[in-house]
Amino acid sequence: MKKIGVLALQGAVDEHIQMIKSAGALPSKVKHPSDLNGLDGLVLPGGESTTMRKIMKRYDLIEPVRAFAKEGKAIFGTCAGLVLLSKEIEGGEESLGLIDTTAVRNGFGRQKESFEAELNVEIFSDAPFEAVFIRAPYLIEPSPEVSVLATFEDKIVAAKEANILVTAFHPELTNDNRFMRFFIEKMV
């Protein structure tokens, strides 16, 4: 059974743990660099990207997470996780730089502009995905190596590059585990 870590510093940790279980893998909370040992993949959950980055620095997790990715291990970032994994963040904030694109924080507006939308996703031919957007970012300027998996209003909201998968929305807040299954079955 594959073991998938969830960065458990802030954000939708428990929801990701339940989604990992529903997709047939073993979840594990990650709070310290040593917690990355033995993992097959890692999830950076939604939450608040600036807060998560500050806590990651405090717990010395920035470089270990980068090393984890450089070893070829898969990482899935949702919402704030997408922002943290991007090569750049509009406005110049520090990121992990693991997917060659730029993130626009709160690209669809503030909390009150949160919404749900049906998306056609490149990797799912069976049915659209009902996505939950909360203070959602989006991506701009992807390099040719980045595969765009879904857009909404001509904005990139799901993408993949090598071992990195990102969504601007929260798949863990739905009953649809296709993104987690794809991550575990195809990327990990």
Which sequence positions are flagged as catalytic? 79, 170, 172
Q: Is 134 annotated as a binding-site member?
A: yes
Residue 88 near residue 96 (C-beta atoms within 8 A): no
Burial 97-115 (b: 16+ CB within 10 A, else e): ebbbbbbbbebbeeeeeee
Residue type for 175, please?
N
Q: Is 105 annotated as a binding-site member?
A: yes
Whole-angstrom distance, CA of residue 34 vs CA of residue 115: 37
Q: Is 55 annotated as a binding-site member?
A: no
Q: Is 178 annotated as a binding-site member?
A: no
Q: Is 135 annotated as a binding-site member?
A: yes
DSSP 18-76: HHHHHTT-EEEEE-SGGGGTT-SEEEE-SS-HHHHHHHHHHTT-HHHHHHHHHTT-EEE
Q: Is 46 annotated as a binding-site member?
A: no
Cite the annotated binding site for L-glutamine by residue number. 47-49, 105, 134-135
Residues within the annotated binding site? 47-49, 105, 134-135
